[in-house]
Structure 1
Amino acid sequence: MCWNCRGLGDPSTVHELCDLARINSPSILCVVETQIAKNRVEGLANTLGFDSAYGVGSSGRSGGLCIFWKNPMQLTLRNFSKYHIDMVVEEQGKDPWRLTVWYGEANRSLRYKTWDMMRYLKADSDLPWCCIGDFNEVLRREEQMGPNDREMAQINLFREVVDACQLCDIGYVGLDWTFERRIQGGEYCRVRLDRVLASAEWSEMFPLATLHHLHAVKSDHSPILLMNEMEAQNQRIVVGKPFRYEVMWERHEEFQSTLEAAWGPSGAGNVEELQAKLLSTAMALKGWGSSSFGAIRT
């Protein structure tokens, strides 16, 4: 799972991240734009339910990345920068593969530095490669909905580096965007900035891998959940206990605001969007209900 959390200095954001980790049970958690120091973000490993962590500190109140992981997975650091953390992943029954979490340069005029780093990393290893994160760019104009159209030249630079690195977008399940912000005039700018890019060799290792767009309250970015066979077995809300709506939740003073925040300000334009909103709202309510009421026996 990966999330641009927009800062982990706020305890309520850490609380939401704990809920996301508990509900979805990822073996590896990647967080970008932590906006806090390296030792502070790494110190959240136990709170979030992970055994190990490696972080890159922020520059003031911008940037910052961290990868958390659980035993028995073994992650070995290859290199890092303010744009990425590159790890070799070893897990039982699989050949080693490579995971890189990315936070693309926010300044458009400097974004080429992220693309140069991707090219450098491509030449550095032949392992099956998975890239996940917020790339701060789109691959097609259709991935930005609403005002503030992107320059085609910037899009083409991203497409060129993806091709040069022999990576493919693995697609997604859920809403068509991972970033949503209301702008002046009441319109919404919605963009697919967060994604997974993978090499053909990685996709052959994990042929059933799927990417799910989730929902979060404390950031204008959606968490993205990469699920393979193992993650599907561990994912408790999809596999195992079904979601149950509890009427007693309605008596809680925070219920209405939690429900509204989970559903989001926009409606569903089609059946696929409705399905995604129902799933993400169920996940948010499940986590809130667990933290507010504890376990409920049925």
Structure 2
Amino acid sequence: MRSLIYNLRGFGRLGRRSQLRSYMRQERVDILGLQETIRPDFTSGELRSLECGGQFAWNWVPADGHSGGLLLGFRDECFEDGVWRKGKFFISADIYQCSNKAKWCFVLVYGPADHSRTGEFLDELEGEVTNCQLPLVVGGDFNLIRRRQDKSNEVVCWSRIRCFNDAIAAISLREYNRAGARFTWTNNQLDPIRSVLDRVFVSPSWETMFPLCSLSAVTRIGSDHNPLLLDSGESGLMRPPRFFFQTWWFHVAGFDELLRGKIEFCIHGKGPHRCSIELWQCISRSLRQFLKGWGRTSERRKGTSGRSSCARWES
């Protein structure tokens, strides 16, 4: 599993999406988290243009005028998304990872450049992390530093540093050490100021789940921020086992209503921005993911492997 976390400073800028697609292909990205999109919404064509190698489930927080905005997407082949939550400064989703059958939460943040709102941002972040019952990752542009060494000049605000470190300690998160660039942001001036504003934090339970995880800064092109690449360290993409549709499921009480409910959920929850073919593919994929687990549970109750049936759906 590989996640790209990137403050791209405007989704609509010339060449920015082409650059983003190049990152997606080169780094084989499964989770995309963009900050400072400066967009109120996205068209289906814009979202599809980012889907290199498969479809994604998308959600976003609109920009506040000409600043902010978050976009978060998960590759459908690798994840099943659950509950989404949004705030002024974050968007998060509870996800089920198909390769290891683990449930965890991804939180994407964009801290305010207006430091008069730093307290509000940290309070919202603390509330989201405290209320989450799953292992979690928190990543994004925090617009805050944690130590004097995080900035290239001597001008630092120690009160904000203390507030930031106190908030991180209060919610028991650990920051991942980053390989690559020393700083993640520059003001692009002749005498530049550089800072570490982009970070990834994890909970102890998430770190235990992915002990080989690594974080690196990708080469910066165009934006004044370096993208961050979070690699879970898993040995390649583990494909889910093949799916077989069993005809005896039609004889299970309530199966028709269960199937109809899942289809309606996909149509209303994942389909508004998709064309009919993409919607059908999305429904098929979501049903396969659901029926694999439901089928195993039903087989245990039935007391059989379920492979005696002649009719199979194979994908």
| TM-score, structure 2 as length reference | 0.69
Structure 1 residues 1-298: aligned runs within 5 Å: 1-40=4-43, 43-49=45-51, 50-72=55-77, 73-92=79-98, 93-146=100-153, 149-183=155-189, 186-230=190-234, 233=236
The amino acid that maps onto 1:47 is: S
The amino acid that maps onto 2:228 is: I
List runs of 5+ in structure 2 lacking aligned partners.
238-315
CA contact (8 A) 2:61 2:71 kept: yes
The amino acid that maps onto 1:91 is: Q
The amino acid that maps onto 1:48 is: L
Question: Which one has the largest radius of gyration?
Answer: 2
Shift of 1:86: 1.2
1:189-213 deviation per Cα after TM superposition (whole angstroms, max 9, x unaligned): 1111001001111100011111110
Shift of 1:216: 2.7
Shift of 1:82: 2.7
List runs of 5+ in structure 1 lacking aligned partners.
235-298
Aligned-partner Cα distance in 2 for 1:80–1:94: 25
SS in 2 for 1:38: coil
CA contact (8 A) 2:30 2:74 kept: yes
Equivalent pairs counted in the alignment come to: 229
SS in 1 for 2:212: coil
Aligned-partner Cα distance in 1 for 2:12–2:115: 26
SS in 2 for 1:218: coil
CA contact (8 A) 1:64 1:82 kept: no
**Aligned residue in 2 for 1:277:** none
Shift of 1:140: 0.9
Aligned-partner Cα distance in 1 for 2:145–2:85: 25
Shift of 1:187: 1.6
1:150-175 deviation per Cα after TM superposition (whole angstroms, max 9, x unaligned): 20100111001100110010111101
CA contact (8 A) 2:214 2:233 kept: no
Aligned-partner Cα distance in 1 for 2:83–2:108: 12
Shift of 1:43: 4.7
Shift of 1:45: 2.5
CA contact (8 A) 1:170 1:198 kept: yes
| TM-score, structure 1 as length reference | 0.73
Aligned-partner Cα distance in 2 for 1:193–1:78: 25
> How high is the sequence identity, in percent, across the aligned residues?
26
